[in-house]
Chains A and B, each alone.
Chain A
Amino acid sequence: MVTFKINGQVVKAPEGTTILEAAKKMGIEIPTFCYDSRLKPHGTCRICVVEVEKAKSLQAACSTPIAEGMSIWTESEPVVEARKEILNLLLSNHPLDCLTCDKSGNCTLQALCQKYNITGSTHQGQKSRYERDESNPFYYVDLNKCILCRKCVLVCSELQCSDAIGVADRGFASHITPPFEKDIEHSNCVSCGNCVAVCPTGALVPKRKEKFSYGEVQIVQTTCPYCGVGCQMELLVKNNKVVEVRPVFAKPNDGLLCVKGRFGFNFINHPDRLKKPLIKKNGTFVEATWEEAYQIIVDKIKEIKEKYGSDALAGLASARCTNEENYLMQKLFRAVIRTNNIDHCARLCHASTVAGLATTLGSGAMTNSIAEVLDADVIFVTGSNTTETHPVIGAKIRQAIRHNGAKLIVAEPRRIDLAKDADVFLQIKPGTNVALMNGLMSVILEEGLYDEDFIRNRTENFSELKKIITAFSAEKAAEICDVDVQDIRKAARIYAAGEKGAIYYAMGITQHSTGTQHVMSISNLALLCGNIGKEGVGVNPLRGQNNVQGACDMGALPNVYPGYQKVNSPEVQEKFEKAWGFKLSPNAGLTLPEMLEKAENNELKLLYIMGENPLVSDPDINHVRKALENLDFLVVQDIFLTETAQLADVILPAVSFAEKDGTFTNTERRVQLIQKAIKPIGDAKPDWVILMEIMDRLGYKKEYLHPSEIMEEIAAVTPQYGGINYFRIKQEGGLQWPCPTKDHPGTKYLHQGHFTRGKALFMAVDYQQPAENADEDYPLILTTGRILYQYHTRTMTGRVEGLNKKAPESYIEIHPETANKHKIEDGEIIRVISRRGAIFTKARVVDIVNKNIVFMPFHYAEGAANVLTNNTLDENCKIPELKVCAVKIEKIEI
């Protein structure tokens, strides 16, 4: 500890603390422009200068460490003089248009001029005359207001790791620009807006639809409604409209957001929002009162239940809705309707993770935390285009490489953006991950690189694994995956040599007819090298949607109650019967694909869909449509009239995340709050209210005044959530389950000391081919995925102008040679055909896919990739093989 004085006050602080940090701790404010706690101090702006007694000159507080006996003055006369002069100089080349400047009220330069009473510059000199760069749809760049603090450049290169902008030229001509003076739109910019968030002046400002000033907005902290990262953000609200979104400096995102979270909020107040319940009469929707809509639904539920039994009804809960709502949805079906026919779209994304990891480790969730990616020294990304689908985690992976020298292995069918950061990039054939993992393990076994102690003490069934792996080889893997065997060897050595090897994967692993095996083989690899149960390692499935983890936790699955407690266990059944006061069904319910199948066979009569759009998201859409049309009664509860909602008999208007309270559980098991920022649009109601009111009308009288009361009930029946309540979540910035008791701090990483299932289980698996392979008729393999600028079925992002400008339409990526063979030009509309259907889409000729592979994003209803995809299921967990199907392409002859 170092003893020193600030403004005459004696204090102690640990060695290495900077003057700025020490002052901040004491509540003494030192002004800054260029400082950002996440960056190394770079001392560019000098506004933080302080007087240090006996020092020759004023010192920059941000970069000067405290020393024993130091005496510091933060607002002495020379300090104030210096700061005034700096402001005076800055203003000599800064437009004084604060009255109309969008940044006014949120501008550090303005605030400091106010503080030091500077009204203008006394210096006369050259003025910058830059044209405003309006090319980006989400923000503009006005270099005339730039004070060259370089924070934007450093955030872009060191935190976001996009390197879109830099400082060019020198002296007075110095300015921030993308390379070669191009506009922002023609740079590497990914529109994350993280530079905009830190700009201390009006140089980088979000474009506005509504005029507002920062003084007149209310600010509400909430959780991002898009992917599973669960970024914390603030909604700025004026007149019941969300007018801007800003990142929050908290876990898990540390002040970073991606383009969707930051700029994709215009759907909230969009005119297309459903405002009244709709009832289909003679084929058209007619507005109705809530009472009318409820009456029809309740009558139908009763009628069908009576006529065909409870199992003729099913519900789809939603990974977009809160924990409380998912809990009520499954309770409605289990307790009130009395069937376990409840599922949701996790079936399509991580059902295989839940099944696979529950078998091998005992718990099917991300083992480690997002922040721990920075502790890893080897990162293995496979089946995930992380920088596009989980952008903030993608940025953190790059930070680990740039700042900590972590090594990166990428195994993907496409040369994704992360591939260029990789030490080894394996461009594998889609669906061959099991072969790759087995190949990697064979090298590790052959060369004795495995963790013997870990295997002996913490795992079982190693001999089984050894048998299968020794019968396999790296050469065989190379042949199956279509990669160089030396690269497999190199990757194996890198992964095994790492002290902390962390695997990140997503749907490239899970969405296969052998998805569960894929997940198990990843678990095998991690166990083999002892990479589970400590900080910075793990098997980390990246969950796709904001609350898909929570929806699973809440038991929106046909075989488990909340907390993964099995429905077919008599003790569990008894526990819930007691808790809910109803007789419950002992039989596991239908999975999502099974529901559709039964609907097609007339066995399922009523389906209640909350916040999902299977008519775009599910494989083989033609089949989905047939199934939904065959239902006796379809209820859809959503915020927009989705493709699926159009088939409904009754549509219930729900509210968006901005209009209600609740919790989402992110991919790292962190339960976080969403908070009501605006009043519901029209007559829309929060999903939990709708469900409560329907349950009430079905005879289950229980009134919750607030979602926090539902959470109390959840905590009482869900061991992992036992110690979680709203007060703690707010106090502690989210809580990571398992958190069994009120005094439990939550769990940063799983399986410390022992596995959830005791010892971890090696599950040796052989490689099996995908259900459909390329052949003469359908010579290409189609793989699908997500892109940065759209989200899922575009219900939300499709209503954000800027995002649509960035990614307006469906396309297919084709290798130049393949395109050439079919005489297809880049940008041409072509026909893509599979055994299940045909679509028109735009050709994008690129060499990031191999010759026999094509790729399509699945977001678009027009030219929908899922018309083509295969609905063959994984036997274990019923996940369809969305990632591999055989197609052919055709030029359209005119």
Chain B
Amino acid sequence: MSCNCQCSTDKKNDPRFQQLDEIIKQHKEQAGSLIPVLHKAQGIFGYLPEEVQIYIAEGLNVPLSEVYGVVSFYSLFTTVPRGKYVINVCLGTACYVKGSGRIMENLKKELGISVGETTEDGLFTLEGCRCIGACGLAPVLTVNDQVHGRLTEDDVPRLIRLYKLKEEQAS
């Protein structure tokens, strides 16, 4: 059901919702399509705010309570905006033994945030994860899709500088 506000017309003109419409259309009649659609939606919006979840529930004709249940169940989904660079430190056995715990501590200190949080400038989000299957490179972390391996805790400041520089050049 549409609400009373004018958001529906705004959504029509928003290229992100147009893209989401396409995705919903592709998946609409498929069983089990909720997770792929949520995944792609998070790719578009960076996170899954209420209005996107409602939009998907209506589009796929899935109860909102189910959508919210799935989003809140999987740690992969986030309902808060994430930084431009999501740092995921592997805390799997091999990496941990090789010192990823210390890397994580240093990242916290360097960025001034805890796990799950985003820096105020919106640049970095810090996450921990289980094994990403690159134990040969342990300890590893990923920044978005980029994998960084064989690190020590002393590499942390350099790494952050690297991405900040990237950002400066981009702007």
Chain A contacts to B: CB under 8 angstroms: 153, 156-157, 163-170, 177-180, 188, 415, 420, 816, 826, 845-848
- B66 contacts A163, C-beta separation under 8 Å: yes
Q: Which residue on A lies nearest to B57, using beta carbons? A: A179
Q: Is residue B144 within 8 Å, beta carbon to beta carbon, of the partner chain?
A: no
The interface centre, meaning the residue of B1, B65, B72 with most chain A CB atoms within 10 A of its CB, is B65
Are B4 and A180 touching (Cβ within 8 A)?
no
B57 to chain A, nearest CB (A): 8
Please determine whether B64 and A179 come into contact, CB atoms closer than 8 angstroms.
Answer: yes
Interface pair B69/A168, CB less than 8 Å apart: yes
CA distance A845 to B69 in the complex (A): 32
Decide yes or no whether B2 CB sits under 8 A from chain A. yes
Q: How far is the CA of A420 from the CA of B63 in the complex (A)?
A: 12
List 6 interface pairs A-B (beta carbons < 8 Å), by A numbering.
A163-B66, A164-B65, A165-B65, A167-B69, A168-B72, A180-B53
Question: Are B65 and A179 touching (Cβ within 8 A)?
Answer: yes
B65 pairs with A163, CB closer than 8 A: yes
Contact assessment for A166 and B4 in the assembled complex, using a CB-CB cutoff below 8 Å: no
How many Å lie between the Cα of A822 and that of B94 in the bound state? 71
Q: Does B47 contact A (CB under 8 A)?
A: no
| B: interface residue count bin | 10 to 19
Q: Quick one: given A179-B53, A179-B68, A180-B50, are A166 and B2 in contact (CB under 8 Å)?
A: no
Residues of B near A156 (CB, < 8 A) are 65
Q: Are A163 and B64 also in contact (CB < 8 A) when A168-B72, A169-B72, A180-B50 are?
A: yes
How near does chain A come to B138, taking the closest CB pair, in angstroms? 27
What is the interface of chain B mostly: helix, strand, loop, or mixed?
helix
Q: Which of B53, B63, B66 has the most CB of A within 10 A?
A: B63
Residue numbers in A under 8 Å from B72 (CB-CB): 168-170
Residues in B neighbouring A848, C-beta threshold 8 A? 1
Q: How far is the CB of A756 from chain B (nearest CB, A)?
A: 41
Tell me, in angstroms, the Cα distance from A179 to B62 when the chains sit together. 13
**Please, how many angstroms separate the alpha-carbon atoms of A848 and B2 in the complex?**
9
Q: Are B73 and A169 within 8 A (Cβ)? A: yes
Chain B neighbourhood of A180, CB < 8 A: 50, 53, 68
Q: Does B60 contact A (CB under 8 A)?
A: no
In the assembled complex, how far is the CB of residue A68 from the closest CB belonging to chain B, in whole angstroms? 34
The chain B residue with its CB closest to the CB of A187 is B65
Q: Which residue of A lies closest to B62 (CB)?
A: A163
Chain A CB within 8 A of B37 CB: no
A169: B residues at CB distance < 8 A: 72-73
Does the CB pair A846–B65 fall under 8 Å?
no
**Given A157-B63, A180-B50, are A166 and B68 neighbors across the interface (CB < 8 Å)?**
yes
- Which of B54-111 touch A at CB < 8 Å? 63-69, 72-73
A350 smallest CB distance to B (angstroms): 30
List which B128-158 residues lie within 8 A (CB) of chain A. none
In the docked arrangement, what's the CA distance between A170 and B2, Å? 31
Nearest CB in chain B to that of A175: its residue: B72
- Contact present for B1 and A157 (CB under 8 Å): no
A31 CA to B138 CA, complexed, in Å: 50
Closest 4 A-B residue pairs measured CB to CB? Answer: A166-B65, A163-B63, A179-B68, A166-B69
Given contacts A168-B73, A179-B53, contact A826 B65 (CB under 8 A): no
Q: In angstroms, how far is the closest chain B Cβ from the Cβ of A581?
A: 61
Which residue of B4, B50, B64 contacts A846 across the interface (Cβ within 8 Å)? B4
Q: A170-B73, A179-B64 are in contact. List 15 more A-B contacts (CB 8 A).
A: A153-B65, A163-B65, A165-B65, A166-B69, A167-B69, A168-B69, A168-B72, A169-B72, A169-B73, A179-B67, A180-B50, A180-B53, A180-B68, A188-B65, A847-B2
